[in-house]
Structure 1
Amino acid sequence: MRNIWGTRDDERLIVNWNKLGQPDDELATKLSSFIGTIVRDGKNALLIYKNWHKVPEHYKDHIWALVQSKFDLPSHARKWVMKCSGKKLKDWKANIKKNYYKNHLSFDQQKHYKDSRVYADQWEHLIKYWAIEEVKAQSDKNKASRAERKYNHITGTKSFPRVRKEQKNKLGHSPTRAHMFKVCYTKETGTPEATKAMIVCTK
């Protein structure tokens, strides 16, 4: 990401957008990753808010301005950028919780055991929040739900819109939902897992 942060205003990257308002070329991954670097900075997206919807609008305006400073984006792209920012912030919280939050530690011990990129005051807010009984119960429920997930995509960092565009170019027409599911979620066709995936997708 250093090469993107180092670009001048007249070197902004141009991303292609599909009719659904989604980036669908090879720069889509760079755009998404760049947004991730922004929201992981606590000055841009504070971790003290329960979810993205609670983040004040002026922070979102600042994030949009930072993205625009490096990428030449149409105005309608803001909706996608905000959605991506919310997802990146949620993933960032989940990551630091998984790697640094330990139930057996006291508050005084826990507040010193954190990711170096997280501001101390924001970390203390988070560990107090995660210690609330109702929050712990909801977290356990979410973990159980994720454990029951049947299929995981195999596209790596490549976005679904980009995969859809590649498949459209390859097939000569827009891929069906069933075809996209097969490409994104199954490693081989003809296996029992792939068959189940196709059934679910076509329901």
Structure 2
Amino acid sequence: MNRRKRTLKGVRISTGGSSTGSNTLGSAATDSQTTGDGTPTQSSEEVPATPAEAAKGTKRKRGPTNMKDIWNLEPGTRIVVDANQYGQPIGMEASKLSEFLGTIARTGSICPLNTKHWKHLSKYVLENILRIVHEKFDLQGKVEDSDILSHVGKLRKEFKSTLKTRYYKEMVQEGRSIEEIYDNNPPGVHDDQWKWLVDRWETPQAAAQSEKAQESRRKVRYAHTAGRTGYATLNAQFAEKEGREPSRLEQFRIQHLRKDGSDNFSSDAAEQVYDEACKMVKDSMPISDSPSAPQVHVAIENAVYTQMFGPDKNGKILGYGRGMTKSKLFGYGSVTRGSQSTSAISTLIEEMNAKHVEQIQTIQSEQALREKTLLEEAESRFRSEAVEREARLIAEAEERFMKLTEIREAKFMDMLDAREKKYEALINECMAKGMSIEFQSSRLDDKAFSSDDDE
């Protein structure tokens, strides 16, 4: 009893109300392993090491939580669970409820594992689970039974994944036979259910589904870092402190801080995307202040969040925790509806559109001016280069003309020198022979011209 008081310290307990069903589990509520007081349990406080772990000398890990204190509550005693306006459990009791649902999901006699999908369980099994939950917890009519069953189905799926990782994959990688895998039955799991799981995992369909799930998991950029505290509880704590519900961007921040209570993000990627989103929010804020400034700020943060992370898919709303859907959010009120009127939202949209149009026009005018300046600079540079090129070509042409002129002048002078020498030679020849001047002159001209023609 003392141990139960320590474990359930701070938890609200009701003893006056009556439960919706008794803890008469019958043959379907007692596991193959039970404690002395009839409490269903999965294993001892530690899980025995697998054969692969035993061969490697791996230390045994802590086993699943048994929640014996809740299973051993006296008849008529229930834990009171609070819920928010969306029907989500919040507070310390919500964590206890989630852990208790985990024990149900791991108890094969209550929640069988030998079905492909959660929806394939019989109606009797689902009703029995609800009866057990309502006997131990007072949900005050705020939490839907469908949400309870959905959570059990999720925990059941996670438990099957844990079994596959610890007791199946390692033996397959080591090349163990199917009989050895059958014998490696995890503690607390029925033999027939374990064999059904192994046969299921051996099929190509299960292998393809596992590969698809692993691929989806690798795309997750920002993992849950709040520990046992759920998103709904974090949002409720923020609302109690600030007097309003957090925006989706604020949800992202409080849900990705370190568990040590500091304001540091759990990863650099989360901090980087948050800083970028805050910058976008600051740029999108309207210039004029109005009485609805907090609501406007929240709406802008929600719009920036959608722009950064994209629209919600598959009917799920990120940041609100399990069980949240668009119909619940918009039906019961949200951070964008309820606290703001339709006219305020319309005004905000118009202001944002006007500001964006103004920004676009400013960018376009700046771009046009920049293009004009670049064009003028390019034209001026082209003209200067053309003038320089023209001057260089003219100088080269003049230089070549001068060289050709010098060459021609030199050839002409050489030709004149040659003619002068020939004339002198002819005159000397005539003088030597004593010819008359007339004859010498005519002879000299004939020779000179004939010589020039021949040349």
Fold similarity call, TM over 0.5: yes
Shift of 1:118: 0.7
Find the partner of 2:163 among 76, 93, 96: 96
- After superposition, the Cα gap between the structure-2 partners of 1:8 and 1:77, relative to the gap in structure 1 and judged at 3 Å, is farther
> Is residue 80–residue 140 contact of structure 2 (8 Å, CA) maintained in 1?
no
* 1:46-85 paired onto structure 2 within 5 Å: 46-75=112-141, 76-85=143-152
Task: Please name the residue that 1:158 is paired with.
Answer: 229
Query: Runs of 4 or more off by more than 6 Å in structure 1?
Result: none
Shift of 1:54: 1.4
CA RMSD of aligned residues (A): 1.9
Could you report, residue by residue, the CA deviation over 1:129-169 in whole angstroms, capped at 9, with x for unpaired residues? 00001211221121122122111011001111111100111
* 1:33-48 paired onto structure 2 within 5 Å: 33-48=99-114
| Matched position secondary structure for 1:143 | helix
Shift of 1:177: 0.6
* 1:133-144 paired onto structure 2 within 5 Å: 133-144=204-215
Q: Distance in 2 between matches of 1:151 and 1:192?
A: 8
Could you report, residue by residue, the CA deviation over 1:51-103 in whole angstroms, capped at 9, with x for unpaired residues? 21111121110000011111112444312211111111111111111111132
> Is residue 186–residue 193 contact of structure 1 (8 Å, CA) maintained in 2?
no
Could you report, residue by residue, the CA deviation over 1:168-187 in whole angstroms, capped at 9, with x for unpaired residues? 11212110111011111244
Letter in 2 for 1:143: Q
Q: Distance in 2 between matches of 1:192 and 1:139?
A: 27
Q: Distance in 2 between matches of 1:169 and 1:122?
A: 46
Normalising by structure 1, we get a TM-score of: 0.92
> Is residue 186–residue 194 contact of structure 1 (8 Å, CA) maintained in 2?
no
| Matched position secondary structure for 1:10 | coil
Aligned-pair identity in percent equals: 29
Task: Please name the residue that 2:217 is paired with.
Answer: 146
Letter in 2 for 1:83: S
> Is residue 225–residue 256 contact of structure 2 (8 Å, CA) maintained in 1?
yes
> Is residue 185–residue 194 contact of structure 2 (8 Å, CA) maintained in 1?
yes
Q: Distance in 2 between matches of 1:106 and 1:133?
A: 18
> Is residue 178–residue 202 contact of structure 1 (8 Å, CA) maintained in 2?
no
1:168 paired with 2:239, answer: yes
Greater relative contact order (CA < 8 Å, ≥ 6 in sequence) = 1
Structure 2, unmatched stretches of 5+, are 1-66, 259-263, 278-303, 308-455
Shift of 1:195: 3.1
Structure 1, unmatched stretches of 5+, are none
